Homo-oligomer: A and B are copies of this chain.
Amino acid sequence: MSWVQIPPAPPIPDVSQLEDGEISGLRKSTLPLTKHNLLVTSDLIDQHSIKLLAKHATVFNSTQLAEDEIVKLLPLIDSLMIFSWPRFLTPERTRTMTRLLFVQSILAGVNHIPFSYFSERVIVSSNAGAYSDGVAEHAWALILAAAKRIVEQSIQIRAGTAALVRHGDAAARIRVLQGKAVGILGYGGIGTSVGKLATGFGLKVSAFSRHVSKEKGVQVRHGAKGLNKNLETSDIVVLALPLTKSTTGIIDKKALSRMKKNAILVNIARGELVDESSLYKHLKANGDFHYATDVWWYKNGRESLVTDFPFATLPNFTGTLHVSGPSVLAVGRPVLLAVQNTLRFLSNQTPKNIVDRSEYIPK
Contact = CB atoms under 8 A, between A and B. Distances in A.
A13 interface: no
Given A141-B144, A144-B145, A163-B305, A157 B201 contact: no
Given A141-B148, A151-B154, A303-B164, A134 B322 contact: no
Interface in A298-312: 303-305, 312
Given A150-B150, A150-B151, A167-B330, A323 B174 contact: yes
A101 interface: no
A44 B171 CA distance: 13
B176 A328 contact: yes
A197 interface: yes
Nearest to A326: B171
Most chain B CB neighbours (cut-off 10 Å) among A160, A162, A326: A326
A201 B137 contact: yes
A303 B163 CA distance: 11
A237 to B, nearest CB: 18
Contacts of A149: 320, 323
What's the number of copies of this chain in the assembled complex? Answer: 2
Contacts of A201: 137, 140, 197
Nearest to A169: B330
Contacts of A327: 148, 165, 171-172, 174-176
A147 interface: yes
A162 B312 CA distance: 11
Contact of A171 (B156, B170, B330): B330
Given A133-B178, A150-B320, 10 more contacts: A134-B178, A140-B144, A144-B145, A150-B151, A155-B155, A160-B312, A164-B303, A166-B326, A167-B330, A200-B200
